Amino acid sequence: MVDNEIALGLKGRDFLALVDYSPAEVEYLIELAIDLKAKQKAGEQHHLLKGKSLGMIFEKSSTRTRVSFEVGMYQLGGQALFLSKNDIQLGRGETIWDTAQTMSRYLDGIMIRTFGHRNVVDLARGATVPVINGLTDLSHPCQALTDYMTILEHKGKLKGLKMTYIGDGNNMVHSLMVGASKLGVDISVATPVGYEPDAEMVKIAVENAKATGAKIHVCHDPREAMEGADVVYTDVWASMGFEAEQAKRAEAFRDFQVNEALMQVAKSDYLFMHCLPAHRGEEVSEGVIDGKHSIIFDQAENRLHAQKAIMAAIM
């Protein structure tokens, strides 16, 4: 499929999870993100969404998601509207279906950052405009697309690389696994017992990996997972909504900190990644997250460009 065929096929689509996109479509979005980034850096106007509006529903607080989507729409020539759950009737009992139907009459696209993944699916079913998953408890596809874009910039390739993820089997690792399976990246995940990624998400990644040759590995030994890693990734031990479990998780994850000792078994030119916000001294040592291998702020910046690519492609 050539680029213009892919571009036509993406118009009007939802962006709920990477599993819904073919390897060629994921690669296209990454290439588009890199192109839009180059245009922005060169000061070239790229008003691909001139006159269009994006509604942004936030049921979870946000720094990177809100700023990057809002600025991204501005750079694309459109406008974004911030809508907290307290600003709209969804927070007062209106159904998701009615909200979706109504907002579709005003907007050209909807982004939602919420808890239950079902909320995003139901919103997309009710909407007649594209819906973007800004984050749910199950997945974080915008961040994963951003991360593979960032790795490509630094490594010059994706296929054949090994990513190691150490920590909680959360929404982040779900999207990273599926993205790896689509792009031919090997991924090895190490979690404490009882904190493994969702079994269905692992199954989906393994199934998708058959087409690209990617290896999907889940274990409970950080050193086993880390062996020969090109990219090392971690996330907070207690994601948003699990703060009450902080003390319990701190004990369970005690041996899963990404630190200088663990990095000895990664490749010497490894990249360190974290989707932020980070808790230095917990899931990662200061020496690693602030060290020469860390590309966390390149990731943060690229949220802007990857999400612009998503919006420009589907809206």
Catalytically active residues are: 113, 140, 143, 235, 275, 303
Q: For residues 181 and 175, give the distance between their C-alpha atoms in angstroms, rounded to a whole number.
A: 10
- The rounded distance, in Å, linking the Cα atoms of 298 and 154 is 10
Tokens of 4: 């213009």
Q: Phi then psi for 280, rounded to 5 degrees?
A: -60, 135
209 vs 246: CA distance, rounded Å:
34
What whole-number distance in Å separates Cα of residue 256 and Cα of residue 18?
27
Q: What share of the chain is helix, strand, coil (3-state, %, to 5)?
A: 50, 15, 35
Neighbours of 273 (CB within 10 A): 26
CA distance linking residue 229 with residue 279, whole number of Å:
22
The structure tokens listed for 3 are 């680029």
Question: Strands 131-135 and 109-113, how do they pair?
Answer: parallel
